[in-house]
Structure 1
Amino acid sequence: MNIIAVINIAKVQLGMEEADYRAMLAQVTGKTSLRAMTPVEHKLVLDRMKALGFRVKVGAKRLPKVARPQIRRLYALWYSCHRYGVIANRSNAALRAFCGRVLAPGQDGVVFDPDLLSPPQASKVIEVLKAMEERGQRAAG
C-alpha cells in the first residue's frame, strides 16, 4: 500500500472533514493537494496524522522498503559506522535524525526518512557517511 493510500485511510479513521484535512495539509507543507507534494512531504503529513491519533492497525502491512541500490548503500554505511564505533545508536530513528542534520543544518528537530530521499539528497548523506566510515577505519587501525 502506498503512502498516499495510508494518508487517505488516516483521514477517514480520524473523521476529518475535507476543509479541516486541506487546512492540515497546508499547515504542514504549504500545499493543499497530495499530488503536488514530494515523498518527504507525504511523510511529514503522515507523521502529523499519527500525532493526531492515527494508528496503523495491528497486522496491517508495513510500507514497502525502497529497494534502490543507493538507499541500500546508505543503510550499509550507517551500520558500518556503528560497527566502527563512529555512531553510538544505529536505530532507524537515529538515521532519520542524522539525515535531517546533514540535509537541513541548523534546523533542529528536522528529520528525513532515508527511504524517501531524492538521489541528490541520498548522495549527500552517503558522502558524509563514507567520510565517517573512513575515520572509523583509521581509528580502528
Structure 2
Amino acid sequence: MKVGADFRNAKIAKIKIASKTLALDDGSYRALLTRVTGKDSAAKMTDRELDAVIKEFERLGFKAVKKRAGGRKMANHAQAGKIRALWIMLYHMAAVEESSEHALAKFVKRTCGVEDLHWIGEYHADQIIRALRGWMARLGYTHPTAEHVKSVSTARTFAGIDGEDSYATAAKLNLIFWQAKKLGINDIAIRNGEYTIQDCLYADNKTLDCVIEELGASLRK
C-alpha cells in the first residue's frame, strides 16, 4: 500500500507547528530531530520516524489544538477512506453507536495511539484496518473473496450494471445478507418493489445504500 503524500505532509506540518509552539530555534530544532531519529530534517524521515518526533514534542509539552467534534475535518487519503468505510459498516451492524469522524478518531486513538486519521502512516493504517475487519469477522460478517467479487461483477455486467467498484458492491451485498439474517427477514421492501435478498444483486448501488441504512436503523432500535 502506498502512503499518500497528503498525510505525510500533514505530519511534517505538525512537527513545524510544534517547534514554533515550543519556541525552538533552528539549531535546537535540528538537534532534537537528530537525537530522536539520527536525521536533521523531517523531509528525510520515514513515517515511523515522523511519529517518533511528534511523540517527543508531545512529551515536551506540545498539544495540538483540537477542533470541536462537529467541525472535525475529514482526512481524505486513500487509507482513511478504507478505514471510514469499515467503521460505517460497523455502525450499520449496530456494533458502534456513532458513525461520526469524532467517534472514529477515538477508536483510532485507542487502537494505535495516534490522535486521528490525519496523522496515521502505512503501519498504523494496516493495524486499524485489520482491527476493524477482525471485529466484523467476529460478528459473523463474511468479507468478499476474490471469487465472490468476480461472480458479482459478472452477474451485474450481464444485467447491464457496470462501471462500479465490484469489491464495494460485493461488500454491500454481504452486509445486507448479514443484516437480514440478524433481523430474521427474507424479503426487503425497496422503492422498485418487493425484492428477495438474492434480487439485491441486481439493484443499483444507491438502492443498496438505502437498504443498508434502513436495515441498520432497525438493528439499532
TM-score, with normalisation over the residues of structure 2? 0.41
C-alpha offsets along residues 122-141 of structure 1, whole Å, 9 cap, x if unaligned?
35642442232132246983
The corresponding residue for 1:94 is: 107
- 1:85 is the counterpart of 2:95: yes
Secondary structure of the structure 2 residue equivalent to 1:54: coil
The corresponding residue for 1:105 is: none
Contact kept? 1:84, 1:136, Cα under 8 Å: no
Given the alignment, which residue of 123, 126, 129 partners 2:129? 126
The corresponding residue for 2:175 is: none
Secondary structure of the structure 2 residue equivalent to 1:53: coil
> Number of residue pairs matched?
127
* Cα shift at 1:57: 6.2
Contact kept? 2:75, 2:117, Cα under 8 Å: no
C-alpha offsets along residues 12-33 of structure 1, whole Å, 9 cap, x if unaligned?
3322233432332234334322
RMSD: 4.1
The corresponding residue for 2:138 is: 135
Gaps (5+ residues) in structure 1? 101-110
Given the alignment, which residue of 28, 41, 44 partners 1:33? 41
Gaps (5+ residues) in structure 2? 1-8, 98-102, 142-177, 183-221
Based on CA coordinates, which of the two structures has the bigger radius of gyration?
A: 2
The corresponding residue for 1:67 is: 76
C-alpha distance in 1, partners of 2:74/2:46?
17
TM-score, with normalisation over the residues of structure 1? 0.57
The corresponding residue for 2:121 is: 117
Given the alignment, which residue of 4, 24, 30 partners 2:12? 4
User: Cα 1:22–1:63, aligned 2, differ >3 Å: closer, same or farther?
Assistant: farther
Contact kept? 2:108, 2:128, Cα under 8 Å: no
Contact kept? 2:87, 2:104, Cα under 8 Å: no
C-alpha offsets along residues 81-133 of structure 1, whole Å, 9 cap, x if unaligned?
4654389xx552432342x3xxxxxxxxxx34544322x76356424422321
C-alpha distance in 1, partners of 2:47/2:34?
15
Contact kept? 1:29, 1:41, Cα under 8 Å: yes
